[in-house]
């Protein structure tokens, strides 16, 4: 089926919920699969219902779900979320993703690790800890990108505009 053609989710579907703490905030990310085994929809719960932050991350999850229903590749949907910087950010209790720039950055990384094959994740620069450890053990080997840190040295600065 072509991209852009809407597909519906089955009435009964499998999925999983990931609970994570980012900074001091608790998030619940639910990812449900379509009958073909691919990711079909995403839900995110954060904090008190009705707050601005909870509404914004929920809207991001809804946008991801609508894109998935219309067969937009997951890699294309999560690429803009990688590296987004805002609070809460910092350390997480997820052993595979120990530090993030924001909740949106975490969602994008978690979905990539859970749902994308290695070549697609590699193109996005998203790796598991085991893959990162392999890079450190073999920094100059064929097919590796060399050693790198879990996050860039400093947060992205404001965009510079020509005067």
- What is the pTM for the complete model shown? 0.73
pLDDT in tens, the chain (163 residues): 455 565 665 566 667 788 888 888 888 888 887 777 778 788 888 876 677 777 888 888 889 888 888 888 999 998 988 988 888 888 999 888 888 898 889 999 999 998 899 999 889 989 888 887 776 665 555 444 433 444 443 444 444 444 4
| d(C-alpha 70, C-alpha 4), whole Å | 5
DSSP strands (E only) in the chain: 15-22, 25-33, 39-46, 90-91, 99-100
| d(C-alpha 40, C-alpha 63), whole Å | 12
| d(C-alpha 90, C-alpha 109), whole Å | 14
**What element of type H or E holds 52?**
helix 52-69
Residue 71 Cα to chain centre, angstroms: 17
């Amino acid at each position: 089926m072509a991209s852009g053609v809407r597909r519906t989710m089955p009435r009964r579907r499998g999925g999983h919920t990931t609970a994570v703490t980012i900074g001091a905030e608790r998030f619940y990310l639910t990812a449900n699969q379509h009958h073909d085994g691919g990711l079909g929809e995403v839900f995110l719960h954060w904090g008190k219902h009705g707050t601005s932050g909870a509404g914004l991350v929920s809207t991001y999850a809804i946008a991801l779900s609508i894109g998935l229903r219309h067969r937009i590749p997951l890699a294309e949907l999560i690429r803009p979320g990688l590296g987004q910087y805002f609070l809460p950010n910092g350390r997480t209790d997820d052993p595979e993703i120990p530090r993030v720039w924001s909740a949106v950055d975490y969602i994008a990384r978690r979905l990539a690790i859970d749902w994308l094959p290695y070549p697609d994740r590699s193109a996005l620069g998203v790796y598991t800890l085991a893959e990162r450890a392999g890079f450190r053990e073999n920094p100059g080997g064929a097919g590796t990108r060399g050693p790198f840190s879990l996050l860039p040295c400093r947060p992205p600065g404001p965009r510079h505009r020509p005067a």
